[in-house]
Chains A and B, each alone.
Chain A
Amino acid sequence: MNATAPTASRLSPLNQRRLANFKANRRGFWSLWIFLILFVLSIFAELIANDRPVLVRYNGEFYVPIARSYPETVFGGEFETEADYRDPFVAEQIDAKGWILWPPVRFSYRTVNRNLTVPAPAPPSAENWLGTDDQGRDVLARLIYGFRISVLFGLILCVVSSIVGVIAGAVQGYFGGWVDLLFQRFLEIWSGLPELYLLIILASIITPSFGILLGLLLLFSWTGLVGVVRAEFLRARNFDYVRAAKALGAGDTVIMFRHVLPNAMVATLTFMPFILSGSVVALTSLDFLGFGLPAGSASLGELLNQGKSNLHAPWLGITSFFILAIMLSLLVFIGEAVRDAFDPRKIFR
């Protein structure tokens, strides 16, 4: 085996061409980087926006309040409760015998700023860079946490519903006949259900949490890919290489996932970014309507709702509008680049 063989040749010329096509779409390529940077940053939200310091030096010892909770007594306070580092008393105590390393934003998504000089919602200031919402919580902190929860939710929903959808489409397309016929009728009925009403009704019976919402939305979002994958499988099951695999004695599962699926993935991958942005919007709109994540969670939809009800505080509406617009535009641009990458007729110019 020559030295370059294993890694370099794994990426077939076709995929190299796709990668080149993707990169050739500058807008999509940069969107991907910006999105990745924002996403990775938001994953470490606790280190960027938090009401607990990252590191405390007190009496010659190190404390990590961000990971562990210490009672106030540790820092010379009087109460056995957890130390509130934003309390001027605690801060003075620590400053006297050491130092505090704060994250760039000294608020968590649920920290209420009690030192506001104006009634909440407070406009942007040196302390609250993007102002506060009507409960005195820092908008920037809520934005960072909200972005993370939206993207994570969208990613998980997108991946899980794609997996379910691909499997359902694969089974239908591969076996065809009665399986296909019955499944198609079921899908028609299922997708005819009024999704939003069901969600609203269910949300009023059970308290929605991240997991429950994910499950509820998954019930309806998995159908998106079924049609595409089914069509690809219907087409591919008559190909000679599938027949050849049957002649070798390969089982149905092996044929479906080893031979047919890799060839059906192009359509799936092209759809992915759009499904992702759809999932993000789904959560945001539920939050906006008040049927989403439990009260108090950081959510872009809730911020948007606050913007609507506090028109005299434009920083709420503007912030939430921009972050949603930027995030969705980035996803759509990435999606366009992915579509270009898989387009065999794309011409380099």
Chain B
Amino acid sequence: MADDPLLRVRDLSVTFSTGKDTVFTAVDKVSFELHKGETLALVGESGSGKSVTALSVLQLLPYPLAQHPKGSSITFEGKELVGASEDELRKIRGNRIAMVFQEPMTSLNPLHTIERQIGEVLTIHKGMGGDEARKRIVELLNLVGLDEQAENRLDAYPHQLSGGQRQRVMIAMALANDPAILIADEPTTAVDVTIQAQLLKLLRGLQEKLGMAMLFITHDLGVVRKLAHRVCVMQKGKIVETGPVNKVFDNPQHEYTRHLLEAEPKGKPVDPPADAKKLIEAKGVRVWFPIKGGVFRRTQGYVKAVDGIDFELKEGHTLGVVGESGSGKTTLGLALLRLEAARGQILFNGKEIQDLSQGDLRPLRREMQIVFQDPYGSLSPRLSVGEIIGEGLKIHKIGKTDEEREKLIIEALEEVRLDPDTRHRYPHEFSGGQRQRIAIARALVLKPKFLVLDEPTSALDMSVQAQIVDLLRELQQRHRLAYLFISHDLRVVRALADQVMVLKDGKIVERGPASTIFDAPSQPYTKALMAAAFELEAVENGDVRT
């Protein structure tokens, strides 16, 4: 392009001081340009410095903890932003360059109505108020697709909106002053696939309509292919490859780009053993949370999180449970392990476990275990890895001596491909993928028969996801484990499950062998999920939420 770039980043470095004399270089001499009407994607795994790069454009890093070494330069419309005064920056932030963040719940002030949130931006930068502002806010809400009774939405508080709607409000706020550049920092990571598809469609449409430039940060290559014109691949704070999307995707030059492109979870579920016997059976499982109200806090109704679910699972088989957030997948998993009070029958090995006391249930806990979604939250930060894994052994009095237990811990760590010496270290020293392996080892050390996997891969980077999926498949084959695999990510489910159950609002929408569901879904809801997950296309047939 012949014209001057809107935003030019030259040799941008960011360092964080981590101790008295130690610094950590998060971004290392990054250079790129952003032209008018263009979408540039910054791609990389977590820790690659992509968000830090985006935040330094608006100078929003925690200075002076963060520093830009000499030579770093960010120019916007010819003006230098590094080291610019707060006054100047304030005129640009939210006005000429706007930003949308990852987590819509924490990015909106919970105590302000939508009107006030968006109105604030207008008042600060344009001095708009009263009816004039109100008109513009309605216009903006229409623009981002919150048009059904946009006027009523004005008085809504963030908690009254769904995740997707909140993110639309965030986008409306960002667009309020017709910015020249929109920076979107993983705006779809925290939402369901169906909503991700809708938001991507919206962003693409808006960019074409308003002709603004967009800096899009993501770890998801599928999103990049769908949305961006050019892409910068980041690794460890450096840009390793840059170019037009088609060229980079079709003919990746750098090894790391190739690695990223190949990282999608692949492979097929293992053939389940033919002689498998029934392990767990659920009949009419219901979890209803009471809604209380009135002076005496009487139960006035129920949220039907799980509403009458039946299924059976044989050993060595994997049942994939898919659905949007709020469809009751996790609650179902917890209910099966009696970690959530539920009604209905749950038979484990032919034995009813619903009426057992916690004490009677304890021996059974050995046989059914769970792996959680967030590997950062599921390991006690103050216990060493060995203590975390060994806890179950102590509770169930497996292994008579400490040495015997130690041996079992080492075996479990080796089984999940971690160095046994790591047992003396603490969780914070490990990456997300390694932590998830520790969580799996904690469950495996008890030699369970049934494992609930509650989105074990969704907090992880794509390449790590693939490794975990391979590991789970291998473990299943070796120990004839039965998995209840909960996920909203259909790509992972396809790689692992031999049966699939689609949930919506706590009820089963569709179920059957995985091949049938994936190749020929019969329900519109399932079809919409598939389109969103595999093609990132939004299907608006009224079955998926907004």
**Assembly CA distance A24 to B17 (angstroms):** 15
B250-258, B301-309, B422-430: which lies at the interface: B422-430
Q: How far is the CB of A324 from chain B (nearest CB, A)?
A: 36
Residues on the A chain within 8 Å of B520, using CB: none
**Assembly CA distance A345 to B378 (angstroms):** 24
Looking across the interface, which residue of chain B has its beta carbon closest to that of A259?
B380
Residues on the A chain within 8 Å of B446, using CB: 248
A239 part of interface (Cβ distance < 8 Å): yes
Q: How far is the CB of B18 from chain A (nearest CB, A)?
A: 8
B20 part of interface (Cβ distance < 8 Å): yes
Q: Which of A5, A262, A348 contacts B20 (CB 8 A)?
A: A348
Residues on the B chain within 8 Å of A308, using CB: none
| A252-293 contacts to B (CB < 8 Å) | 254, 258-259, 262-263
Residue pair A5, B424 in contact (C-beta under 8 Å): yes
* Known contacts A20-B19, A250-B395; A241 and B361 CB within 8 A of each other: no
Give the number of residue pairs across the A-B interface with Cβ within 8 Å: 83
Residues on the A chain within 8 Å of B429, using CB: 12-13
Binary contact readout B1-44 vs A (1 if CB under 8 angstroms, 0 otherwise)? 00000000000000001011000000000000000000000000
Residues on the B chain within 8 Å of A247, using CB: 337, 339, 365, 368-370
B514 part of interface (Cβ distance < 8 Å): no
Residue pair B369, A348 in contact (C-beta under 8 Å): no
A243 part of interface (Cβ distance < 8 Å): yes
* Known contacts A12-B428, A250-B391, A263-B382; A244 and B370 CB within 8 A of each other: yes
**Assembly CA distance A178 to B62 (angstroms):** 43
* Known contacts A249-B396, A250-B395; A243 and B372 CB within 8 A of each other: yes
Q: How far is the CB of B359 from chain A (nearest CB, A)?
A: 9
Most chain B CB inside 10 Å of its own CB: which residue of A5, A241, A254: A241
**Assembly CA distance A348 to B425 (angstroms):** 26
Looking across the interface, which residue of chain B has its beta carbon closest to that of A349?
B64
Residues on the B chain within 8 Å of A12, using CB: 426, 428-429
Q: How far is the CB of A300 from chain B (nearest CB, A)?
A: 39
Residues on the A chain within 8 Å of B337, using CB: 247
Looking across the interface, which residue of chain B has its beta carbon closest to that of A252?
B358
**Assembly CA distance A13 to B428 (angstroms):** 9
Residues on the A chain within 8 Å of B374, using CB: 240
B173 part of interface (Cβ distance < 8 Å): no
Looking across the interface, which residue of chain A has its beta carbon closest to that of B372?
A240
| A1-25 contacts to B (CB < 8 Å) | 1, 5-6, 9, 12-14, 17, 20, 24
B392 part of interface (Cβ distance < 8 Å): yes
**Assembly CA distance A185 to B20 (angstroms):** 47
Residue pair A245, B391 in contact (C-beta under 8 Å): yes
Binary contact readout A321-349 vs B (1 if CB under 8 angstroms, 0 otherwise)? 00000000000000000000000010110
Residue pair A241, B380 in contact (C-beta under 8 Å): yes
Looking across the interface, which residue of chain A has its beta carbon closest to that of B393?
A248
Residues on the A chain within 8 Å of B81, using CB: none
**Assembly CA distance A250 to B442 (angstroms):** 13
**Assembly CA distance A61 to B421 (angstroms):** 63
* Known contacts A9-B424, A263-B382; A244 and B395 CB within 8 A of each other: no
A97 part of interface (Cβ distance < 8 Å): no
B274 part of interface (Cβ distance < 8 Å): no
| B385-431 contacts to A (CB < 8 Å) | 391-392, 395-396, 421, 424-426, 428-429
Looking across the interface, which residue of chain A has its beta carbon closest to that of B363?
A249
* Known contacts A5-B424, A250-B395; A241 and B20 CB within 8 A of each other: no
Residues on the B chain within 8 Å of A26, using CB: none
B366 part of interface (Cβ distance < 8 Å): yes
A246 part of interface (Cβ distance < 8 Å): yes
Residue pair B439, A244 in contact (C-beta under 8 Å): yes
Binary contact readout B353-368 vs A (1 if CB under 8 angstroms, 0 otherwise)? 0000000011001101
Looking across the interface, which residue of chain A has its beta carbon closest to that of B427?
A241
Residues on the A chain within 8 Å of B425, using CB: 9
**Assembly CA distance A103 to B165 (angstroms):** 79
**Assembly CA distance A244 to B371 (angstroms):** 8
B293 part of interface (Cβ distance < 8 Å): no
Residues on the A chain within 8 Å of B391, using CB: 245, 248, 250, 258
Task: Give the size range of A's interface with the partner.
Answer: 20 to 34
Binary contact readout B46-80 vs A (1 if CB under 8 angstroms, 0 otherwise)? 00000000000000001011000000000000000
* Known contacts A24-B20, A249-B395; A347 and B65 CB within 8 A of each other: yes
Q: How far is the CB of B372 from chain A (nearest CB, A)?
A: 4
Binary contact readout B228-240 vs A (1 if CB under 8 angstroms, 0 otherwise)? 0000000000000
Residues on the A chain within 8 Å of B439, using CB: 244
**Assembly CA distance A5 to B392 (angstroms):** 24
**Assembly CA distance A326 to B429 (angstroms):** 42
Q: Which of A248, A250, A347 contacts B17 (CB 8 A)?
A: A347
Residues on the A chain within 8 Å of B361, using CB: 249
Q: Which of A24, A239, A249 contacts B365 (CB 8 A)?
A: A249
Residue pair B426, A249 in contact (C-beta under 8 Å): no
Residue pair A243, B428 in contact (C-beta under 8 Å): no
Q: How far is the CB of A260 from chain B (nearest CB, A)?
A: 9
Most chain B CB inside 10 Å of its own CB: which residue of A12, A243, A245, A247: A247
Q: How far is the CB of A172 from chain B (nearest CB, A)?
A: 19
B377 part of interface (Cβ distance < 8 Å): yes
**Assembly CA distance A345 to B62 (angstroms):** 10
Q: How far is the CB of A267 from chain B (nearest CB, A)?
A: 14
Residue pair B378, A244 in contact (C-beta under 8 Å): yes
Residue pair A241, B426 in contact (C-beta under 8 Å): no
Residue pair A347, B20 in contact (C-beta under 8 Å): no
B244 part of interface (Cβ distance < 8 Å): no
Residue pair A249, B366 in contact (C-beta under 8 Å): yes
**Assembly CA distance A293 to B334 (angstroms):** 57
Q: Which of B19, B62, B370, B383 contacts A348 (CB 8 A)?
A: B19
* Known contacts A249-B365, A249-B366, A259-B380; A244 and B20 CB within 8 A of each other: no
**Assembly CA distance A263 to B427 (angstroms):** 14
B379 part of interface (Cβ distance < 8 Å): yes
Residues on the A chain within 8 Å of B370, using CB: 243-244, 247
Looking across the interface, which residue of chain A has its beta carbon closest to that of B65?
A347
B83 part of interface (Cβ distance < 8 Å): no
Residues on the A chain within 8 Å of B267, using CB: none
| B181-228 contacts to A (CB < 8 Å) | none
Residues on the B chain within 8 Å of A262, using CB: 380, 382-383
Q: How far is the CB of B386 from chain A (nearest CB, A)?
A: 11
Most chain A CB inside 10 Å of its own CB: which residue of B382, B424, B426: B382
Most chain B CB inside 10 Å of its own CB: which residue of A239, A243, A249: A249
Q: How far is the CB of A183 from chain B (nearest CB, A)?
A: 18
Residues on the B chain within 8 Å of A240, using CB: 372-374, 377-378
B326 part of interface (Cβ distance < 8 Å): no
Looking across the interface, which residue of chain B has its beta carbon closest to that of A5?
B424
**Assembly CA distance A6 to B386 (angstroms):** 13
**Assembly CA distance A36 to B446 (angstroms):** 48
B381 part of interface (Cβ distance < 8 Å): yes
Q: 7 smallest A-B Cβ distances: which pairs?
A: A249-B365, A240-B378, A262-B382, A240-B372, A249-B362, A248-B392, A240-B377
Given A9-B424, A240-B373, A262-B380, 11 further pairs, Cβ under 8 A: A12-B429, A14-B428, A24-B20, A240-B372, A241-B378, A241-B379, A243-B378, A247-B337, A249-B396, A345-B62, A345-B65
Complex A-B: 19 CB contacts under 8 Å: A1-B421, A5-B424, A9-B424, A12-B426, A12-B429, A240-B378, A241-B377, A241-B378, A241-B379, A244-B442, A247-B370, A248-B391, A249-B361, A249-B362, A249-B366, A250-B395, A262-B383, A347-B65, A348-B19
Interface residues of B (CB under 8 A from A): 17, 19-20, 62, 64-65, 334, 337, 339, 361-362, 365-366, 368-370, 372-374, 377-383, 391-392, 395-396, 421, 424-426, 428-429, 439, 442, 446
